[in-house]
Structure 1
Amino acid sequence: MVLRTSRPGRIVFAGGGTGGTVGPGIAVAERLAEIEPSIEIIFLCSDRSVDRRLLDPGGWDHRTTPARSPGVRPGAAIRFLRGWHGTRRIARTVLDPADGCRVVALGGFVAPPVVREAIHRRVPVDLLNLDAVAGRANRWIARRATRRFTAVPSDLSNVGDAIGVPLRRAALPDGPASEHREALGLRPDLPTLLVTGASQGAASIDRMMIELVARHETWFAGWQILHLAGPSMLDELIRGYSEAGVPAVVRPFLERMGDAWGAADLAITRGGASSIAEVAASRTPAIVIPYPWHEDQHQAKNAAVLAKAGAVLVRTDPVRGPAATPPLESSLAALLQSGERRARMFEAFGPVPVDAATEFARTLVEG
């Protein structure tokens, strides 16, 4: 179904459950508020805490939905169906074509029931695909959306050229490294290794770092570590760094990721689309450790362009088996010890990426 588009009076962002879906929506919403303040902005998100941690600081109007991922087991299937119908009921309260409403679908399990309700109510839908390998939700939405956009080169058809990943203002460095380090309680004069598992943390990376500093504490001489971890690993990480004598600041989720990237000389990170875009925007040499259990390995594909340029290294998570450990450890040791190698990676980033959030916001305003 092709719906007529026009200048919107309300934009409803549908997505949630990870920072990688909510964050780009906030980035676009920030620019919309600057370009056309009269447009009403509403987020339909999940009931996971990560969504509130991102949305609350900016005061964004949002509705929590009961949406759930689909599953084949009876209990999961029942929860999915209940969540689907409950999310449609909530969407119904904010989707009114008479208000010049349109939906921006960000992917993930929240978006499909919102899209279904939007189509039922003849509200236009724009899909913003955020991964190189589109997930099931985005493939479903793409067949029904009024317009389709992709942030990165993707396997989706009929989406046009990649527009770039929208990044929140808070995810971008905005000052010298010393200021960002001081803001995080780090020493302003020490080179800094950032370790991050993105918005939900990464237990396998956390455990890898505990083992590394215990066995190879000399590698980290002259360095300090900023480690962003899941809540369950905080105490163990603090204890591990302390026992190894490695200066470290360990924190949970950080809303102002721009401080983390601005502080870093080197990073270890997952390969979600937003994480890779933040690496590129901050020009931070990085070792990318893709999430190990995605069948399509889309996080490795997200990092492929930067890896080919020489700006990042992609290494397998050690949780996949002992063969993954030596290549990862040797890469990290070499980068910690060689400023020349890090400088070459920095130069490999090329031009500063365009402000995708602003460009996409303008597209939405134009209708």
Structure 2
Amino acid sequence: MSQTKKRLLIAASGTGGHLFPALALAKELQDYHIEWLGVPNRLETQLVPTEYKLHQIAVTGFQEKFGLGTIKIALRLVRSIWQVRQILQKGQFDGVFTTGGYIASPAILAAKSLGLPSILHEANAIPGKVTRFLGNFCSIIAVGFEPAAKHLSRYKTLYVGTPVRPEFLSPQKLDLPIPDNVPLIVVAGGSQGAVAVNQLVRQCAAAWFEAGAWIVHLTGENDPDANSLQHPQYLVMPFYQDMAALWQRANLAISRAGGGTLSELAVTKTPAILIPYPFAAEDHQTYNAKVFVDAGAALVFQQQELSHQILEKEGLKLLNSPENLQEMAKSAADVAFPNSTQLIADLVRKTLI
């Protein structure tokens, strides 16, 4: 097979936090032939096939206590490693890039077994299990937050931030009927675990409306009370496609603290009240949020300790203090990596020589 381009297999699956950084990198690597490794019935089946050839394998994470289920998962992993080996060999790939998660395990191990380089990107301040356990099999680990490197001191790491989609890096026009001169709060709890945040926000909304704020509330798909609040200054929807324009317009975000979301908030200089998802693996969202709090870019509250009275009061404080919001916006810019995609693309080019 004649190869005029380097061939890269990207293994990224499941959530936007894994997929969007990988898609941003893929667009940057126009000089590479790129194919994708994913899992059936996950988000990649919607986002990837229009741009890249998608290979699908069946693999799950080691989340259960040891038992018969664990043995089945281990056997499935062995099978998936063999499948990825076949994909890599047949496609004559030069290496693998992965954003972690359980799809990363067979990708990294198959690449290692064939003597191919692999690059893993860890978006969270506390590295996940795959990163910690398989880091030694990777050529290098790119980290999104500096504290992650301290947990991976025995591995080769590079602090490069987390890629965001190109539209986040240039001014976007928001196509929503919101006046230009009003403060805007954007609430994005995400589809997983958003209901508790949504309930708090609806209880706070009246006071924020009275202060002149508008609210765009992205409730996710699992909130039975999503349409229970109606107000002229309130726009509610499950999701919104143009998050770049929305974050750029927002004066304040109320959000979870996933690595990808925080990278978007940083490059758009959006002050935030962060409510980490309490059931995230190893509480990694709390550690992510701490980076922003330490920088002065956000406030953080644990969901189990947050009442609507506290959230209402803190929101009003910020709405009534534009100078504080401006300082937080500057601090968010200080932790931003607007060139993260280019840095990781350069890393790929240097590794896949």
CA drift at 1:252:
2.7
Distance 1:203 1:73 in 2: 32
Following superposition, the deviation at residue 102 of structure 1 comes to: 0.3
Q: Structure 1, unaligned stretches of length 5 or more?
A: 1-6
Once structures 1 and 2 are overlaid, which stretch shifts more, 292-301 or 99-108? 292-301
TM-superposed CA distance for 1:206, in Å, is 1.7
2:321 is equivalent to residue 332 of structure 1 = no
TM-score, normalization by structure 1: 0.83
SS at the partner of 1:357?
helix
Q: How does 1:171-210 map to 2 (within 5 A)?
A: 172=168, 174-175=170-171, 179-180=173-174, 183-198=175-190, 200=192, 202-210=194-202
Counterpart residue number, 1:163: 160
For the Cα contact (< 8 Å) 1:9–1:40, is it kept in 2?
yes
Instruction: Report how far residue 77 of structure 1 moved.
Output: 2.8
- CA-to-aligned-CA distance 1:268-297 (integer Å, 9 cap, x gap): 011111111111100001101111124633
Query: Which stretch of the first structure deviates more once superposed, 339-348 or 284-293?
Result: 339-348
How much does 1:150 deviate?
1.7
Q: Which amino acid aligns with 2:290?
A: A
- Cα deviation, 1:249-272, whole Å, max 9, x if unaligned, reads 223344432122122111001111
What is residue 10 of structure 1 aligned with on the other side? 7
Q: Which residue does the alignment assign to 1:239? A: 228
CA distance in 1 between counterparts of 2:48 and 2:127 reads 25
1:302-321 to 2 correspondence within 5 Å?
Answer: 302-317=288-303, 320-321=304-305
Paired position in structure 1 for 2:112: 119
Q: CA deviation at 1:350?
A: 4.5
- Aligned AA (2:186): L
Letter in 2 for 1:306: F
Cα drift, residue 198 of structure 1? 4.0
Instruction: Give the conservation status (yes or no) of the 8 Å contact 1:149–1:163.
Output: yes
Distance 2:75 2:299 in 1: 42
Q: 1:88 to 1:229 in 2, by over 3 A?
A: farther
Does the CA-based 8 Å contact 2:160-2:340 persist in structure 1?
A: yes
- Are the equivalent residues in 2 in contact too, given 1:270–1:291 (CA < 8 A)? yes
Distance 2:93 2:83 in 1: 18
Q: Partner residue of 1:211?
A: 203
**Corresponding residue for residue 130 of structure 2:** 137
**TM-score relative to the length of structure 2:** 0.86
Deviations 1:46-89 (A, max 9, x none): 33443334435x62332233221212265753663464245335
Question: Is the Cα contact below 8 Å between 2:276 and 2:301 reproduced in 1?
Answer: yes
* Amino acid in the other structure paired with 1:342: L
- Counterpart contact for 2:218–2:238, Cα < 8 Å: yes
Cα RMSD for the two superposed structures: 2.7
Q: Which amino acid in 2 is paired with 1:285?
A: P
- Read off the aligned partner of 1:162 and give its amino acid letter: Y
Identity of aligned residues (%): 25
8 Å CA contact 2:119, 2:140 repeated in 1 = yes
Answering whether residue 291 of structure 2 is matched by residue 301 of structure 1, we say: no
Write the deviation string for residues 20-67 of structure 1: whole angstroms up to 9, x where unpaired: 11111111111112xx1xx211121233443334435x6233223322
Q: Which moved more, 1:326-335 or 1:269-278?
A: 326-335
